[in-house]
Amino acid sequence: MRTSPLSLDEAVDLTRTGDLWLFRGHSAADRAIRTLTNAPVNHVGMAVVLDDMPPLMWHAELGKGLRCVWSGSHHRGVQLHDLRDAVTQWCGRYEQHAWLRQLDARVTPAQEDALLRTIARLDGTPFPTTVSLAARWARGRVHHSAGVETAYCAEVVATTYTEMGLLDPDRPANFYDPGSFWSGDGLSLLGGARLGREIAVDAH
């Protein structure tokens, strides 16, 4: 098991579609998310690496500092960013620690198509307020689905994994929080897919 962090260049080179990027910060909002969900991390994004495109990150956040590759605009909420730029922003401007979890599965053309349909459907969906986020997650924990008017980061990843056939469709996307995608939670994937252990990334 690797004990030294990957450099950002190494991590970006290793990243493939479906891999997860997890982040932990120390701001009041970061700590509130972790306390609410009893999770070790406060943000999760999914890598999208297709054909000759640069590696991208599919996630949801409050900021609009980076250009969304899908829409070509700067907006808050669900976004598709250049992966390197996104990690640099989260580790620099947002002062977060980052980890990479690699998906051990071959992503099929059908799963790539499902991924692109999900991006087309969700891109630009607003990020919920803190109170709304807590309410959405709480409803999900008792297996009640929330509406699609807003979405937080773990919902985006869970929805995308579900559409790709990697998560049980009977469990609502708002059941998940960022910590659901940390190895200690024991997330079960379908079709023999597995997620590797976290690999620390030094993006500074």
Task: Tell me whether residue 1 is in a domain.
Answer: no
Structure tokens at 85: 């730029």
Q: What is the tens place of the pLDDT at every residue in 160-193?
A: 999 999 999 999 999 999 999 999 788 999 999 9
- Helices of type H across the chain: 8-14, 28-37, 83-91, 109-122, 130-141, 153-163
Task: Tell me whether residue 178 is in a domain.
Answer: yes
Instruction: Find the domain containing 32 and state its range.
Output: 6-202
Task: Tell me whether residue 148 is in a domain.
Answer: yes
Task: Tell me whether residue 18 is in a domain.
Answer: yes
Task: Tell me whether residue 142 is in a domain.
Answer: yes
Task: Tell me whether residue 61 is in a domain.
Answer: yes
Q: Please, which pLDDT band fits residue 2 given cuts at 50, 70 and 90? A: low
Q: What is the tens place of the pLDDT at every residue in 6-26?
A: 999 999 999 999 999 999 998
Task: Tell me whether residue 198 is in a domain.
Answer: yes
Angle (deg, nearest 10), helices 153-163 and 109-122: 140
- The pTM assigned to this predicted structure is 0.93
Task: Tell me whether residue 139 is in a domain.
Answer: yes
Q: What is the tens place of the pLDDT at every residue in 69-84?
A: 999 999 999 999 999 9
Residues 6+ apart with CB under 8 A from 132: 150
Backbone torsions φ then ψ of 50, nearest 5 degrees: -125, 130
Q: What CATH number is associated with residue 59?
A: 3.90.1720.10
Overall number of domains in the chain: 1
In the chain, % of residues over pLDDT 70: 99
Q: How far apart are CA 140 and CA 172, in angstroms?
A: 6
